[in-house]
């Protein structure tokens, strides 16, 4: 049994990870300021500390007697980062640096959330870790900077870390009613309430959707590898692209049809974001198992 720290453990992915770790028999400490996470998401068997990762003194204390840290606290939205550039940078980059510094002090291996957004617009249709990042939003720039900071912390302090470039994660507990919600959760909320859905651009943009249950298995596996070695960054994806139009039509078949409003494409968003999972399969010896059609039927 290990004792883990999860930053952002009341959030969408974080709360599912906490549940998974506790089911595996581990002890879990959560730090979350509940600005985006929800108290109802917290597993009753975790130790909860209501604090901000920007509060370094409180953050550092959280690393006492911890075997590994999963850093998921973030403002995970391209559009929010454009509207709130400085706030987003403070949390996503400075907050991460403070987490890395605490982890380095305690010599704690760390698995942290990066993002497929770091790739930006590429000529390649399949995005592999060998490609040079090309961030086109403040969120993406901050996430790439976090990866560079991880390399620097490894060089200076020997910090072991793995950055996970999440593609489009979906599933239960994802925020549904925010202007910054993910596309599947936003569609779900509006279809269930018989409201029109909004598609930005022509809807032909492709995304690599992966269910949160698959994601937490892969996050947990990443810690095993990180404890043994510094692993760099890995895509967390299925390798399968799906257009936004196809997502809409599939959800209409499951939940009922509503009107589609097509709007101008939004700045900061890539046209194609489909990951290569070759490195994932090679290093993790695991792959996603939940097909999109099945995952969409379990969003509550």
Q: Report the catalytic residues.
A: 139
Exposure string of 209-224, with b = 16+ CB inside 10 Å and e = fewer, is bbbbbbbbbbbbbbbe
CB contact at 8 A, 134 and 119: yes
H or E element at residue 198 = strand 197-200
DSSP per-residue codes, 57-73: HHHHHTTTT-SEEEE--
- Give the separation between CA 238 and CA 235, rounded to whole angstroms: 9
Of 162, 192, 164, 157, residue with least CA distance to 177:
192
Cα–Cα distance list, 85 to 67, 137, 190, 227, 285 (Å)? 33, 9, 28, 34, 38
DSSP per-residue codes, 32-47: E-SSSS-GGGS-TTSE
- Give the separation between CA 129 and CA 52, rounded to whole angstroms: 31
**Could you count the other beta carbons within 10 Å of the beta carbon of residue 87?**
12
Strand order in the sheet with 232-236: 47-50, 27-32, 3-7, 68-71, 110-115, 161-166, 232-236
- Give the separation between CA 170 and CA 9, rounded to whole angstroms: 16
């Amino acid at each position: 049994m290990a004792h883990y720290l999860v930053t952002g453990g009341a959030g969408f992915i974080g709360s599912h990870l906490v549940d998974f770790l506790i089911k595996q028999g581990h002890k879990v400490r959560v730090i979350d300021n509940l600005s985006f996470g929800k108290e109802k998401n917290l597993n009753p068997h975790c130790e909860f500390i209501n604090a901000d990762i920007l509060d370094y003194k409180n953050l550092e204390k959280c690393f006492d007697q911890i075997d590994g840290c999963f850093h998921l606290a973030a403002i995970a939205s391209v559009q929010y980062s454009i509207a709130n550039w400085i706030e987003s940078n403070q949390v996503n980059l400075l907050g991460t640096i403070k987490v890395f510094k605490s982890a380095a002090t305690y010599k704690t291996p760390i698995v942290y959330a990066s993002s497929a957004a770091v790739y930006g617009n590429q000529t390649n249709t399949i995005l592999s870790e060998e490609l040079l990042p090309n961030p086109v939003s403040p969120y993406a720039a901050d996430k790439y900077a976090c990866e560079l900071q991880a390399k620097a912390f490894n060089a200076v302090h020997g910090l072991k870390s793995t950055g996970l470039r999440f593609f489009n994660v979906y599933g239960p507990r994802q925020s549904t009613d925010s202007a910054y919600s993910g596309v599947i959760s936003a569609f779900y909320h509006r279809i269930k309430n018989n409201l029109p859905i909004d598609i930005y651009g022509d809807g032909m943009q492709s995304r690599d959707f992966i269910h949160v249950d698959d994601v937490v298995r892969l996050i947990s596996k990443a810690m095993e590898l990180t404890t043994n070695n510094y692993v760099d960054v890995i895509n967390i994806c299925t390798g399968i692209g799906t257009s936004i139009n196809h997502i809409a039509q599939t959800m209409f078949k499951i939940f009922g049809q509503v009107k589609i409003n097509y709007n101008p494409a939004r700045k900061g968003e890539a046209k194609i974001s489909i990951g290569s999972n070759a490195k994932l399969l090679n290093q993790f010896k695991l792959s996603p198992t939940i097909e999109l059609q099945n995952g969409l039927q379990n969003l509550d």
